[in-house]
């Protein structure tokens, strides 16, 4: 079976890391003819180039596809050449889906991973609405959470095409190590990890930090469209400037979270964020909004605290709860991590996806007979 994955990457965040770890797991499983086509957009070529290099470092065949702007007919032609022998075309994101539909040959099964919607502005909301409409022409859609499946069904996507395939613990995350509960001998280290964009609710977190009486150290790992805005706010607020840091992209997640006491995920909307999955798998207590699949990863009063989205006061109260009972939450987080690493392995994800590939190709062959 020849399989072609297709992605138009941004900074190395959830979808990019799922493609990276997932295709490596598929290759390890023995999927032959596996290739990842990666758009390298002339407006930000570093994103595509980084993903291509990372895939090749893992032994996965990766082909860069040059793209000039949002619509490039030459990119479609390049994809058609790559897709000639593909039995399955697996897309990630709305741009990859649109180009994949234009490039695939007749008879190729089309699978799409839905990594969640951001709705960061009117343009992106329009693209995401287009994606839901294009799902009508897809053989199977992989959604990362039960709420995502339900939302897509409400949007008119056929239930028969929807499949729940949760994200996996990245295999390069490293082992679970002992964690020391926080004491007030040092500041409580709170971190976020991932894309710096409006839907992540980082402004709400800064509101909570500014109002908190706790001794805090806050690190916002990652990059994105809100980086400059967040940095300017931190620099202009004397309550934030001494304690909040924006070091950029964290290439080694385990190292970045090694001394973190609380992983904060104050998202306004969410799918199944890989950052929280990684933090949970590393035994870090989590403070998160009650949106998307976050309640599937964070159990109230066990490995973390859940709060309403957009509520700075509730977020601050959650930080206080976690600080006051940090030893309790650390024990719960370590127990949850041990369970999660068994249930959400990349190998299990790869077996599930291969079974789905086989099913959709069989259906296509039956229709063609």
CB 130 within 8 A of CB 160: no
Classify burial at 368, counting beta carbons within 10 Å of its beta carbon; exposed 0-12, middle 13-18, buried 19 or more.
Answer: exposed
In 3-state terms, what secondary structure has residue 4? strand
Q: Is the pLDDT of residue 137 over 80?
A: yes
Task: Report the pLDDT value the prediction gives residue 369, as an integer from 0 to 100.
Answer: 64
pTM across the whole model: 0.82
- The predicted model gives 141-162 an average pLDDT of 90
Burial class, 203, CB count within 10 angstroms (exposed 0-12 / middle 13-18 / buried 19+): middle
Q: Is the CB of residue 292 less than 8 Å from the CB of residue 145?
A: yes
Please indicate, yes or no, whether residues 44 and 135 belong to a single structural domain of this protein.
yes
- The confidence score (pLDDT) of residue 126 equals 81
Q: What is the pLDDT of residues 321-337, one digit of tens each?
A: 999 999 999 999 999 99
In a shared domain, residues 244 and 100: no
CA distance linking residue 261 with residue 189, whole number of Å: 5
- The residue that leads in pLDDT, 274 or 355, is 355
CATH of the domain at 313: 3.40.50.2000
pLDDT given for residue 119 in this prediction: 59
What is the residue whose two structure tokens read 């066990």? 302
**Segment 234-252 mean pLDDT:** 95
Residue 327's CB is within 10 A of a number of other CB atoms, namely 12
> Do 177 and 159 fall within a single domain?
no
* 152 and 283 belong to one structural domain: no
Q: What is the pLDDT of residues 88-132, one digit of tens each?
A: 999 999 899 999 999 998 889 999 999 876 656 677 778 788 888
High-pLDDT (> 90) share of the chain, %: 72
Asked if the model's pLDDT at residue 299 lies above 70, the reply is yes
Same domain, 118 and 197: no
Residues 197, 335 within the same domain: yes
The residue range of the domain holding 149 is 3-168+345-368
pLDDT in tens, 182-207: 999 999 999 999 889 999 999 999 99
Do 159 and 188 lie in one domain? The reply is: no
Instruction: Report pLDDT digits (tens) over 303-317.
Output: 999 999 999 999 999
Tell me: do 250 and 355 sit in the same domain: no
Q: Are strands 304-307 and 3-7 parallel, antiparallel or unpaired?
A: unpaired
Q: Say if residue 216 is in the same domain as residue 203.
A: yes
Residues 41-46, mean pLDDT to the nearest whole number: 91
Burial environment of residue 38 by CB neighbours within 10 A (0 to 12, 13 to 18, 19 or more): buried
Q: What number is the average pLDDT over the span 344-353?
A: 94
Query: How many CA atoms are closer than 13 Å to the CA of 36, on its beta-carbon side?
Result: 30
Per-residue pLDDT tens over the stretch 5-27? 999 998 877 889 899 999 999 99
Least confident of 80-94, 110-124, 231-245: 110-124
Q: What pLDDT does 106 receive?
A: 86
Tell me the pLDDT tens digit for each residue of 254-298: 999 999 999 999 999 887 888 899 999 999 999 999 998 899 899
Domain count, the chain: 2
**Residue 178 sits in the same domain as residue 98:** no
pLDDT at site 118: 62
All residues at 6 or more sequence positions from 164 whose CB lies less than 8 Å from its CB, including other chains: 143, 145, 146, 149
pLDDT at position 171:
84
Averaged pLDDT of the chain = 92
Same domain, 147 and 215: no
Name the DSSP class of 142. Answer: E
Tell whether 27 and 160 lie within a shared domain: yes
pLDDT grade for 366, boundaries at 50, 70 and 90: confident
Angle at 187 between CA 182 and CA 189, to 5 degrees: 70
Q: How far apart are CA 319 and CA 305, in angstroms?
A: 8
């Amino acid at each position: 079976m020849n399989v072609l994955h297709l992605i138009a990457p941004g900074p190395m965040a959830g979808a990019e890391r799922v493609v990276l770890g997932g295709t490596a797991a598929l290759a390890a499983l023995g999927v032959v003819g596996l290739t990842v086509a990666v758009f390298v957009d002339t407006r930000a070529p570093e994103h595509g180039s980084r993903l291509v290099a990372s895939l090749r470092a893992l032994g996965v065949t990766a082909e860069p596809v040059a793209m000039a702007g949002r619509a490039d007919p030459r990119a479609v032609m390049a994809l058609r050449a790559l897709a000639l022998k593909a039995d399955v075309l697996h897309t990630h994101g709305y741009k990859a889906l649109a180009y994949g539909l234009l490039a695939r040959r007749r008879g190729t099964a089309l699978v799409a991973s839905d990594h969640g919607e951001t709705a960061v502005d009117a343009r992106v909301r329009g693209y995401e609405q287009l994606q839901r409409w294009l799902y009508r022409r897809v053989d199977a859609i992989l959604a990362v959470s039960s709420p995502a499946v339900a939302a897509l069904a409400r949007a008119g996507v056929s239930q028969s095409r929807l499949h729940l395939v949760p994200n996996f613990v990245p295999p390069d995350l490293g082992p679970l190590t002992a964690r020391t509960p926080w004491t007030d001998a040092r500041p409580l280290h709170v971190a976020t990890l991932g894309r710096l964009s409006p839907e992540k609710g980082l402004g709400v977190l800064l509101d909570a930090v500014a109002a908190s009486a706790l001794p805090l150290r806050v690190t916002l790992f990652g990059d994105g469209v809100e980086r400059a805005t967040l940095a300017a706010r931190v620099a202009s607020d004397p309550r934030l400037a001494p304690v909040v840091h924006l070091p950029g992209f964290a290439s080694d997640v385990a190292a970045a979270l090694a001394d973190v006491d609380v992983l904060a995920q104050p998202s306004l909307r969410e799918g199944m964020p890989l950052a929280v999955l990684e933090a949970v798998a590393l035994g870090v207590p989590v403070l998160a909004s009650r949106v998307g699949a976050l309640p599937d990863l964070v159990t109230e009063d066990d490995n973390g605290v859940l709060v309403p989205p957009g509520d700075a006061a509730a977020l601050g109260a959650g930080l206080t709860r976690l600080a006051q009972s940090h030893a309790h939450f650390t024990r719960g987080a370590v127990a949850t991590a041990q369970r999660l690493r068994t249930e959400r392995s990349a190998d299990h994800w790869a077996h599930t996806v291969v079974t789905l590939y086989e099913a959709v190709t069989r259906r296509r062959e039956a229709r063609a007979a």
